[in-house]
């Protein structure tokens, strides 16, 4: 009987590996039924990791987005899964235990079936508590081994780690090959060893396509007895993302495996919809280089999921480094030359820093240390003089036990700074915090939300949640989008010139027009001379307050605010003759004045 291989669509990862943002709730609602119609996916990754944080960054409630996206898959019998960073849960830094535990209750209630729990240090102490909390909440606990290639990360290392995780209660094992540098034969050996001892444990493989090993790795994984493979689809497959389902299906079918058919009509529709999301706004944050594969990743091992942020960081430092080099009379670097130097520096310092798996947040820490070393070098300074507290937290053991040994010069530097190394359970450093957030929400008059989901979001992403609630996040996102659209237009793309109305619509998409109730002459004040001026943008009005007047043949007609609001633009000058229903100004709702 043919061995069955099932597919999981990593729709969330496709976006994170390409750029900064993910689709809006309305876009996810459009794509979900089409993904279902493709008929080839047993699972879909719907949330987790950075997805909910970036929802907040562009002013959308992530809880609503998760519920909306999960619901159709739940109804169709397709399992949904999320990414969970263990001690860090859904953010870049450690999370109190009570907030971590609440996460599983919330995500299960929102429709997420499986949590993929990982730790970049592969420290079981950061994974096993989450296994218990997830199972208690009714979720499937998929314990994850972050796969990389080093003298520390051997076959035996992973086989032993799998034993610890299964003994800790894991129902499934995921091999997370986040940089795609896992060697195919090694992956086959690991899967075979797990299956020989635990034939009923389901194993799933997640491999980015960046350096090109992942297709061969998927074949070896299947031959060794693996069960589910993560795949992507156009227009975001390959590059720094994942292999396309069409290629993997054809390869495995030819190798004699039982794989599902693909409804190609639905595939093309999903492809078209995804492209429309790119064209709508997401493409303005996608670096074209992330669509390419590169063998340079074989050496440095940086993960596909962080390449979007890496390119942004590189652009930010490029000018500063070249300025320093120019002052020192040295040759300036092109962006590509700087990228190669960064990859080489990561490869050099990685074992010096204890060889953590280069996955969030440790990939960012090592990348940042490498980038700052390049900056220090351009200044003529020694290496490791600009490491931030988060980086030191990893070095000192506050995030868990490092897989490898720190270089003597790093230990010496820590001692010179008076730092102490920590060897106990890292969770003890981060006490429970929910009572504080509950009290804060009561003071602010904020609802805790269905199944305490708003409480969870506030406790998990405090800064971003505050900015979302205040409207600051949406405003900043809209300004950034406007700048990117204008830059694209200047660069000769097909984006057309933006009118004042276009800019207003981008910056204030929820603004509503104050329309003239009659035909007449606009008076911004009850003054018949020509000196009256419209209110300054940002002026606030209470509901029912007069914003301006119209001089009509029948008398003066006040034009009043229809809600508590602020003015975001004015559309008519003093003395202008307007017809009935002409927009006089655009108003944006405010909670209070």
* CATH number for the domain harbouring residue 569: 2.40.50.100
Q: 541: domain range?
A: 510-589
- Residue scoring higher pLDDT (488 or 493): 488
Question: What is the per-residue pLDDT for 175?
Answer: 98
Task: Report H helices in 143-244.
Answer: 155-167, 184-197, 214-223
Question: What is the per-residue pLDDT for 307?
Answer: 66
pLDDT value at 499 more than 70: no
pLDDT digits (tens, 9 = 90+) for 11-68: 999 998 898 899 999 999 999 999 999 999 999 999 998 889 999 999 999 999 999 9
H or E element at residue 144: strand 140-146
pLDDT digits (tens, 9 = 90+) for 501-541: 777 777 788 889 999 999 999 999 876 555 678 887 888 99
Question: What number of CA atoms fall less than 13 Å from residue 25's CA on the CB side?
Answer: 15
Question: What is the per-residue pLDDT for 495?
Answer: 44
Highest mean pLDDT among 179-193, 282-296, 379-393, 518-532: 179-193
Which tokens hold the place of 337? 């030359």
Q: Identify whether 199 is part of a domain.
A: no
Write down which residue in 373, 391, 408 finishes a domain: 408
Q: Identify whether 476 is part of a domain.
A: no
Residue 44 φ/ψ region, left for φ over 0, alpha for ψ in the -120 to 50 degree band, beta for the rest: beta
DSSP 275-338: HHHHHHTGGGG--GGGGS--TTHHHH---GGGHHHHHHHHHHHHHHHHHHHHHTTPPP--HHHH
Write down which residue in 358, 386, 408 finishes a domain: 408
Number of domains in the chain: 2
Q: Are 472 and 52 in contact (CB under 8 A)?
A: no
pTM over 0.75: yes
Question: What is the per-residue pLDDT for 492?
Answer: 57
Q: What's the rounded Cα separation, in Å, for the pair 250 and 237?
A: 16
pLDDT tier, 112 (very low <50, low <70, confident <90, very high otherwise): very high
Q: What's the rounded Cα separation, in Å, for the pair 470 and 448?
A: 16
Tell me which DSSP letter residue 212 carries.
S
Highest mean pLDDT among 212-226, 286-300, 386-400: 212-226
Q: Identify whether 143 is part of a domain.
A: no
Q: Identify whether 481 is part of a domain.
A: no
Q: Identify whether 434 is part of a domain.
A: no
Cis peptide before 235 (omega within 30 of 0): yes
Q: What's the rounded Cα separation, in Å, for the pair 575 and 550?
A: 9
Average pLDDT, integer, range 125-143: 98
For residue 160, the SS3 value is helix
What angle, rounded to 10 degrees, do the helices at 472-490 and 500-507 form?
140
- Residue scoring higher pLDDT (493 or 300): 300
**262-271, 338-347, 412-421, 500-509: the lowest-pLDDT one:** 500-509
pLDDT value at 83 more than 90: yes
Question: What is the per-residue pLDDT for 207?
Answer: 96
Question: What is the per-residue pLDDT for 494?
Answer: 46
Q: Are strands 114-117 and 6-9 parallel, antiparallel or unpaired?
A: unpaired
The mean pLDDT value of the chain amounts to 92
Q: Identify whether 313 is part of a domain.
A: yes
Question: What is the per-residue pLDDT for 445?
Answer: 96
pLDDT value at 496 more than 70: no
pLDDT value at 475 more than 90: no
Question: What is the per-residue pLDDT for 267?
Answer: 98
Average pLDDT, integer, range 196-212: 97
Question: What is the per-residue pLDDT for 489?
Answer: 76
Cis peptide before 361 (omega within 30 of 0): yes
Write down which residue in 408, 424, 445 finishes a domain: 408
- Residue scoring higher pLDDT (368 or 131): 131
Q: Identify whether 59 is part of a domain.
A: no
Average pLDDT, integer, range 320-343: 90
Q: Identify whether 49 is part of a domain.
A: no
Question: What is the per-residue pLDDT for 238?
Answer: 96
Provide the 10 A C-beta neighbour count for residue 167: 10
Average pLDDT, integer, range 213-227: 98
Q: What's the rounded Cα separation, in Å, for the pair 368 and 374?
A: 10
């Amino acid at each position: 009987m043919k061995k069955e291989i099932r597919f999981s669509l990593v729709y969330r990862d496709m976006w994170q590996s390409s750029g900064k943002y993910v689709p809006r709730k309305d876009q996810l609602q459009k794509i979900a039924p089409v993904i279902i119609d493709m008929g080839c996916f047993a699972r879909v990754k719907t949330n987790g990791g950075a997805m909910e944080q970036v929802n907040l960054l562009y002013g959308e409630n992530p809880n609503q987005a998760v519920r909306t996206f999960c619901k159709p898959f739940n109804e169709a019998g397709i399992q949904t899964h999320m990414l969970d960073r263990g001690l860090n849960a859904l953010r870049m830094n450690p999370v109190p235990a009570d907030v971590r535990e609440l996460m599983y209750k919330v995500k299960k209630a929102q429709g997420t079936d499986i949590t993929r729990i990982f730790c970049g240090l592969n420290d079981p102490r950061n994974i096993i508590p989450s296994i218990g909390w997830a199972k208690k909440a009714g979720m499937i606990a998929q314990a994850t081994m972050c796969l990389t290639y080093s003298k520390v990360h051997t076959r035996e290392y992973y086989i032993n780690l799998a034993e610890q995780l299964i003994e800790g209660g894991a129902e499934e094992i995921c091999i997370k090959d986040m940089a795609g540098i896992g060697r195919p034969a090694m992956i086959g050996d690991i899967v075979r060893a797990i299956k020989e001892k635990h034939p009923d444990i389901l194993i799933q493989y997640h491999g980015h396509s960046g350096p090109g090993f992942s297709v061969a790795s998927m074949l070896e994984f299947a031959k060794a007895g693996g069960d589910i493979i993560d795949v992507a689809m156009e227009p975001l497959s390959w590059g720094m993302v994942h292999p396309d389902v069409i290629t993997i299906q054809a390869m495995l079918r030819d190798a004699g495996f039982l794989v599902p058919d693909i409804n190609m009509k639905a595939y093309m529709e999903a492809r078209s919809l995804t492209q429309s999301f790119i064209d709508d706004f997401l493409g303005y944050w996608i670096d074209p280089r992330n669509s390419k594969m590169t063998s340079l990743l074989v050496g440095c091992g940086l993960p596909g999921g962080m390449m979007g942020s890496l390119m942004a960081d590189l652009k930010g430092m490029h000018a500063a480094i070249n300025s320093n080099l120019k002052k020192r009379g040295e040759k300036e670097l092109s962006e590509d030359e700087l990228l190669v130097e960064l990859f080489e520096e990561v490869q050099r310092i990685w074992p010096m820093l204890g060889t953590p798996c280069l996955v969030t947040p440790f990939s960012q820490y090592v990348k940042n240390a490498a980038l700052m070393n390049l900056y220090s070098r351009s200044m003529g300074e020694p290496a490791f003089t600009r490491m931030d507290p988060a980086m030191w937290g990893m070095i000192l053991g506050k995030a868990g036990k490092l897989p490898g040994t720190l270089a003597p010069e790093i230990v010496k530097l820590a001692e010179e700074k008076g730092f102490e190394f920590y060897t106990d359970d890292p969770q003890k450093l981060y006490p429970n915090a929910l009572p504080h957030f509950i009290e804060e929400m009561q003071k602010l008059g904020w609802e805790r939300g269905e199944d305490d989901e708003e409480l969870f979001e506030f406790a998990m992403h405090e800064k971003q949640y505050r900015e979302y609630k205040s409207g600051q996040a949406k405003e900043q996102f809209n300004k950034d989008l406007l700048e990117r659209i204008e830059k694209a237009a200047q660069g000769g793309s097909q984006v057309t010139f933006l009118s004042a109305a276009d800019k207003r619509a981008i910056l204030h998409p929820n603004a509503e027009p104050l329309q003239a109730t009659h035909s007449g002459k606009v008076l911004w004040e009850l003054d018949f001379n020509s000196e009256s001026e419209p209110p300054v943008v940002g002026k606030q009005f209470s509901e029912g307050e007069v914003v301006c007047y119209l001089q009509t043949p029948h008398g003066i007609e006040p034009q009043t605010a229809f809600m508590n609001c602020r003015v975001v633009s004015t559309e008519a000058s003093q003395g202008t003759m307007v017809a009935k229903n002409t927009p006089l100004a655009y108003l944006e709702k405010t909670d209070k004045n």
